[in-house]
Amino acid sequence: MSPPRRGAWPPRGFTPRPLCLRPGRGSLDFMNTEFICLELTAAELIELYRALLARVVMEGKLRREQGLEPVDPADLLLKLEVLLNLNENQSLANFRQVDDELWEHSWLDFTDEWAWFRARQEVLKKLGRTPEPALKPDELEPLVEKCYQQNFDRYVAELDMRERPATPKKKRVRHNVKREA
């Protein structure tokens, strides 16, 4: 058999037929997958891994709060762990560290919002519950910002769950007054 001549394929009169396979029945989806090559330093790969891990942690917590079943970690996350040559203990340590960082971020966001809410509450209280009709929202914001800056530590202390130092409380003095009958 002689090799095909150049330009001999497709033969004359050949019409390609589209290949249609249903998903799950031997589909050839991998043939349509685009592959991209990246060159990353180890530090960049770790950063990418930690970002994906943060997403997995957040999705897991949201699903738990919504009463949904937990999902398995993304296949990509597992591939990155293999590329980084992480063992199970290192993966768990990374998970815990990312979880702690997300909790800290959430706490800082919450305390910041709380302080802003309290500052606005105090400014409105000083103005008499509701801002005067002459006071525009543009004028209210700088007052809230000033109060927020001045009292931020006090507002955050209202939320602080750590043990506060004991402060001496004022003692009530009861006077023994005899009543005449």
* DSSP codes joined into one string, the chain: -PPPPTT--SPTT--PPP----TTSS--GGGG---------HHHHHHHHHHHHHHHHHHHHHHHHTTPPPPPPPHHHHHHHHHTT--HHHHHHHHHHHHHHHHHHHHHHHHHHHHHHHHHHHHHHHTTSS--TTS-HHHHHHHHHHHHHHHHHHHHHHH--SPPPP-PPPPPPPP--PPP-
Q: Which residue has the higher pLDDT, 142 or 175?
A: 142
In degrees and rounded to multiples of 5, residue 41 shows phi and psi of: -80, 165
pLDDT at site 158: 85
How is the chain split into domains, by residue range? 41-86, 104-160
- Please answer whether residues 38 and 83 qualify as being in contact, where contact means their C-beta atoms are separated by less than 8 angstroms: no
pLDDT digits (tens, 9 = 90+) for 22-69: 455 554 555 677 777 878 888 999 999 999 999 999 998 899 999 998
Reading the block at residue 18, the tokens are 């589209």
What's the chain's Rg over C-alpha atoms? 33
When pLDDT is averaged across residues 98-119 and rounded to a whole number, the result is: 92
Residue % of the chain over a pLDDT of 90: 31
Judge whether residue 93 has pLDDT over 90.
yes
pTM of the model: 0.59
